Structure 1
Amino acid sequence: MNLQKIYNNIGEKFLFLIFVVLISTVLSCNKKEPVFDKNFVHSVYIWLNNPDNLEERELFEKSLTKFLNTSKYAKTNFVGTPAGTNREVVDNTYTYSIIVTFSSKEEQDLYQKEEAHLLFIKEASSLWNKVQIYDTISLD
């Protein structure tokens, strides 16, 4: 094989690799992760009527996702289920945990009345039997 062809082949592969790395870097820099806003944290714990019913869980999650994606005021959110930690001080009886952050108490007050939030309650409230909320403001 010709030595010049080998060098050209290596050079082409190297340039392609540089191109891929450059594109990957640009794309990853454009992704902005939401910053957790610690000014006002709204923690919601929900107990579904039938937590083992997969259809009801799917309905709840669909309504919740639609709501969180359309809220004008919720800055960041987290949805989870009990971690199954087994300690005396841990309550694992809830079905879903939802944590939403706001820039201020005033924005959280507006969130309580916004159409997306009210629609979620209308769509999903028949699926739960208990809701416990903890609202927290930062010490800073």
Structure 2
Amino acid sequence: MKTITTLLFLTIAITAFGQTTDTMKEFDPNFSHTVFFWLKNPDSQADRTAFVTSLKKFLDNSAYAKTKFIGTPPKASRDVVDGSFTYSLILSFDSAEAQQAYQDEAPHKVFIKESEALWEKVIVYDSQGI
């Protein structure tokens, strides 16, 4: 009886909190797009909120980005870690062509228009899988 209860509990927990095929987003190894943003006023909570709101709105409406990760720098414990940026964005695409279509889609252009006044520097690293 104890085993059945445990299995039932695990099944319910996995169903309630686990990924499903509808929500699962796997990293696509074909094309990676990594962007680092340095905000002009990184200590301004209003600027940070405006930036993240615009970025999330854009990503929620992007037809091409598969994996979508927004990050901030961790407290680095090693000299080789560059934590000077304010936000990072890591996206994956199924091809270089899909990434180019993402560059040209309306939500991306709206994001740039809404947020470009907030940043002082942007660096992009694109990579194709080997």
| TM-score for both structures, normalised by structure 1 | 0.80
Shift of 1:19: 6.3
Q: Which amino acid aligns with 2:108?
A: H
Q: Deviations over 1:37-87 (max 9, x none)?
A: 111000000000000000010000000000111100000111111112143
Q: Which residues of structure 2 form unaligned runs of 5+?
A: none
**Structure 2 equivalent of residue 125 of structure 1:** 116
Q: Secondary structure at the match of 1:111?
A: helix
* Two-structure CA RMSD over aligned residues (Å): 2.3
Shift of 1:91: 1.5
**Structure 1 equivalent of residue 87 of structure 2:** 96
- 1:1-140 equivalence runs, <5 A: 22-27=11-16, 28=18, 30=20, 32-139=23-130
Larger deviation, residues 38-47 vs 87-96? 87-96
Shift of 1:90: 2.1
Count of aligned positions: 128
Shift of 1:33: 2.2
| TM-score for both structures, normalised by structure 2 | 0.86
Q: Classify 1:17/1:57 alpha carbon distance in 2 versus 1 (closer, same or farther; 3 Å).
A: same
CA–CA distance in 1 between the matches of 2:121 and 2:69?
A: 19
Q: Which amino acid aligns with 1:30?
A: T
Q: Which amino acid aligns with 2:86?
A: T
Q: Which residues of structure 1 form unaligned runs of 5+?
A: 1-10
Larger deviation, residues 19-28 vs 108-117? 19-28
